Structure 1
């Protein structure tokens, strides 16, 4: 697409550039370069970004975010469905974004802006215990899937009005791929799922997290009782390294200092990282549920979804968190459908939407927006 000359492709390029541009976005009204230049990498970075929160709150996210209460828990959501309620539109397609372990809805920001520019409906959520959502007392994956469903239903209701015939594209990142697949299995009868779009999916089976793996279960149990020990390690020995901490080093491949937007996104990610609670991370790991691959295949066959369901897996070739070999196996194990595709982004690590925003927007525009 990039370098194309016809009008349609030039229009697409304009949309992608607008979706990825951060100029004028910080709520502090500072310039992106000024924010980047004001931050000093190293042990002091955590305190710098923590006291400059409006530097890393963007106008798009603030404009579309709201809070709702699910099971007595305050949940942050972001969506552009408000205009639906002013119309008689019932048959709608919604892109539902589900982040991964320790993530938040902001990690999808380029794709959310792309959707909005293309007049598509989107919903993104902060899972309980992550982002700006409150903690919950049960992080078993089945419970989280139920909560994700309750959030969706809650957004789709306005004064007891329900939007019928809703169709979903479910987009998951990392652990969110597992949640997306569990969601598909549990609620496929309630919504027509048009596509499963799985970004940087983890291993097919994570043996250490299976219920019978005693050593891991004991370690996670201990950390759940004493989460401050994990907090201390993360703060003292990892986050003190600033942009060289694991949450940045392993999630970004591009280290160009010439790309100011990229440097800003790293600081933005780091600012989110230092707010993650170890208790939530441990809770999700303890509640992990493996995917029943045979059941997914059986659902697709029994409901004749082979020709209607799109499966799209996207990974980065420099991802050390979920290496390309694992992503390939994940894609290969997904059931055969007529529209199944694996896309690999060059020079990209785990945080796909922040590391290579233009490339993920190009793929999403080509394979999702224009095909569905």
Structure 2
């Protein structure tokens, strides 16, 4: 009997693992376990491994792909228990399938046999729903508190605003107290190690071209009249009070002026790190996890954040220190095609919002000064110290002077 006709008769066989996050998954199929193995592989690849305890071991593991098929088999060897709540949720998904499939061409018209994995994040429960393929078809999210509810509301608003533009998953509705979105095809962006010796010759991975176009599209689609983000202006004020060279001090002061008279805001993702890029082959399928987005962001800053985040995580695949990051960042920013492309992409995103391309420079300074300001305001907020963040800001300001 199919789950479509008698969903309540389905009884999965669920196992539990603790990494990369506490997860309950249907072990009666190998598919959820293999996907969890892929998530663990991605976690090791771009989870700042060299910064952690056992850094050498973890960074070595992160540079090389895990045997995910074998690891998936090992993961399934767990004590199994029933989870009637997940069985019932899958039944509700199957019953709602015609309406879900009508909103996206990525779902088959009738529901396949469904399996799932529940990933327990700190504030959001995420259920990955699988059919017959190796990757999930749907992602279901449920808030576990008021703060996370606000984040999911922001995400839903962003997905609705971007619907039909191929930049983010489609929001498909609600099922069983969960908000449902399509699962984008692919896996998180795979990172390569970055070393001091190759910093001046760094190139941009192929998916950056798709990301650039996506961020330009978001800027063009969501540009609205409005005041600048007050929090960013405040963070720049903190950075300006930090001991800086005259060149950097003037650059920050100019950025504050430009932000304060900025009359345009855009939807800003605000967490464009590698785990939120979904890549299918060499193509970007879209950006996920919009829970921390801002509808009143600054044009171009996502472009800079994406490049800096990928660079820093690439450094952490070898070894990690404030001194090493500064050593790599300087020549990479000044000489590499990697950051030359970033500066060009930032200018195009600014222009897409209807602004002069020259504003890309003060907005880029604002990003680096904002990181420094946040570190000074919230010491635990950054993986780098204030000295390293100030040095990066100095490099950027000097290049624009």
User: Could you tell me the TM-score, scaled by structure 2's length?
Assistant: 0.22
- By relative contact order (CA 8 Å, sep 6+), the higher-ranking structure is 1
User: Could you tell me the TM-score, scaled by structure 1's length?
Assistant: 0.23
